[in-house]
């Protein structure tokens, strides 16, 4: 993490201001310094949080892993400067090896492969599915010009700070950072492996292990927030939207699927599932996968289904209107998306849409009229905050 992000942070326990209470190790990339091992501290409730492998762990104490708690204790013992000042003596500074693009990709693939374990797949089709996801996450997830182009239509002015909720492997955020050149780039994610992958991809992204429903960032200090393919995995998604509105000035929110579209691609891959209560949809889903011979069994489907929450566009917009103006940017996004070289899914259909403008316009108009577009892309312009 870079030291410049500290004034933006707040305590996940009490919302107090965060300071650096000890630096044990730093790394140098070219001339830029990053803290890789250290201790953050809340000025109000006096809780300490570790920075491990360059990633601050800003979660409530009960949410930290035993290893993270142990690091907090160890770092506190090493950090001799006490709570109020930064230890400058005895800091280890390591010069980071710079990787070329090929080495970076190989390193990222190794990490993702260890996490996904395609060789453990129970069927060939399952293995193909995992390999497809793996390839996307390592090699294509930064091809996000379609998001940048859409955001550019609605975001005007200078961008000093950007944050992604559920930043994962960092592709989207890296693409935004390279276009807008913000001073501060933050990614909030709960998954430690994906956070490491994100840092390999783009070391100028400050990854924080934190919860999307309790973002450890101060109010109204982020110029622009993005969140993609994350909201549908947060049970308390309304709280996540409230957090996004609390800390940001503008936000680009995308999630899939729309509850009323009725087919879930990418999570459980089944029809009518988003409509139905989960108790009823699971047996139907198992039957659907059995007939198609996908190899996804009851246990795997139950896990996917229990981690996916279907949100209607109507409900998401209703929630966001509490905080500002909401613009549906599905049409703009689709126009840029069909022109992309890489498609994670629906590539041939998107090529068809690119060729047939009239069909495309009719399809977009119908989906929007019935509020059922399969992926939801919304832009939030927040009400201006009146400072006292």
Question: Which residue in the set 9, 11, 51, 108 belongs to the binding site for Zn ion (CB under 5 A)?
Answer: 11
Cβ 46 vs Cβ 197: under 8 Å: no
Determine if 13 is a binding residue for Zn ion (CB under 5 A): yes
Nearest CB to Zn ion, comparing residues 11 and 268: 11
The interface with Zn ion within residues 43-62 (CB under 5 A) comprises: 44-45
Question: Which residue in the set 24, 42, 55, 186 belongs to the binding site for Zn ion (CB under 5 A)?
Answer: 42
Q: Which long-range contacts (CB under 8 A, 24 or more apart) does 289-295 make?
A: 293/123, 293/125, 294/123, 294/125, 294/126, 294/129, 294/269, 295/121, 295/122, 295/123, 295/124, 295/125, 295/126
- Cα of first residue to Cα of last residue in the chain, in angstroms, is 32
Q: In angstroms, what is the minimal distance from the CB of 16 to Zn ion?
A: 4
Q: Contact region for Zn ion (CB under 5 A) — 37-45, 68-76, 144-152, 161-169?
A: 37-45
Nearest CB to Zn ion, comparing residues 13 and 25: 13
Q: What is the dihedral of CA 95, 98, 99, 101, to 10 degrees?
A: 150
Determine if 218 is a binding residue for Zn ion (CB under 5 A): no
Nearest CB to Zn ion, comparing residues 58 and 375: 58
How many residues contact Zn ion, by CB under 5 A? 7
355-371 core/surface letters (b: 16 or more CB in 10 A; e: else): eeeeebeeebeebeeeb
Determine if 14 is a binding residue for Zn ion (CB under 5 A): yes
Determine if 153 is a binding residue for Zn ion (CB under 5 A): no
Q: In angstroms, what is the minimal distance from the CB of 59 to Zn ion?
A: 12
Nearest CB to Zn ion, comparing residues 41 and 201: 41
Determine if 16 is a binding residue for Zn ion (CB under 5 A): yes
Residues 6+ apart with CB under 8 A from 321: none
SS3 116: helix
Q: Which residues bind Zn ion (CB under 5 A)?
A: 11, 13-14, 16, 42, 44-45
């Amino acid at each position: 993490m870079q030291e410049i992000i500290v004034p933006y942070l707040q305590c996940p326990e009490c919302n107090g201001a965060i300071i650096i209470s000890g630096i044990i190790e730093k790394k140098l990339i070219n001339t830029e310094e990053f803290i890789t091992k250290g201790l953050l501290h809340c000025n109000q409730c006096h809780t300490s949080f570790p920075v491990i492998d360059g990633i601050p762990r800003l979660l409530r104490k009960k949410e930290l892993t035993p290893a993270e708690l142990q690091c907090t204790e160890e770092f506190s013992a090493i950090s001799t400067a006490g709570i109020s000042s930064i230890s400058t003596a005895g800091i280890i500074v390591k010069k980071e090896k710079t990787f070329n693009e090929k080495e970076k990709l190989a390193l990222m693939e190794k990490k993702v492969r260890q996490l996904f374990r395609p060789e453990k797949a129970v069927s060939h089709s399952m293995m193909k599915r995992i390999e497809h996801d793996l390839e996307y996450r390592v090699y294509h997830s930064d091809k996000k010009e379609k998001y940048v182009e859409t955001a550019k239509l609605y975001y005007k002015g200078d961008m000093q700070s950007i944050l992604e909720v559920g930043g994962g492997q960092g592709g989207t955020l890296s693409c935004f950072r390279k276009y807008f050149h913000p001073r501060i780039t933050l990614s909030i994610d709960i998954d430690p492996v994906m956070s490491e992958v994100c840092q390999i991809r783009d070391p100028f992204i400050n990854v924080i292990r934190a919860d999307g429903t309790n973002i450890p960032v101060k109010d109204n200090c982020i110029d622009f927030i993005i969140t993609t393919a994350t909201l549908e995995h947060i049970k308390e998604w309304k709280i996540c939207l409230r957090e996004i509105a609390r800390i940001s000035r503008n936000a680009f929110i995308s999630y899939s699927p729309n509850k009323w579209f009725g087919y879930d691609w990418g999570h459980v891959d089944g029809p009518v599932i988003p409509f139905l209560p989960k108790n009823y949809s699971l047996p139907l889903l198992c039957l659907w996968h059995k007939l198609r011979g996908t190899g996804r069994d009851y246990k795997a489907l139950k896990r996917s289904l229990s981690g996916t929450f279907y949100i209607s566009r109507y409900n998401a917009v209703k929630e966001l209107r509490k905080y500002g103006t909401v613009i549906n940017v599905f049409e703009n996004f689709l126009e840029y998306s069909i022109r992309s070289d890489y498609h994670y899914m629906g590539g041939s259909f998107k090529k068809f849409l690119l060729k047939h403008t009239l069909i495309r316009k009719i399809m977009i108009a119908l989906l929007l009229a019935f509020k059922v577009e399969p992926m939801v892309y919304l832009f939030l312009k927040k009400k201006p905050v009146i400072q006292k």
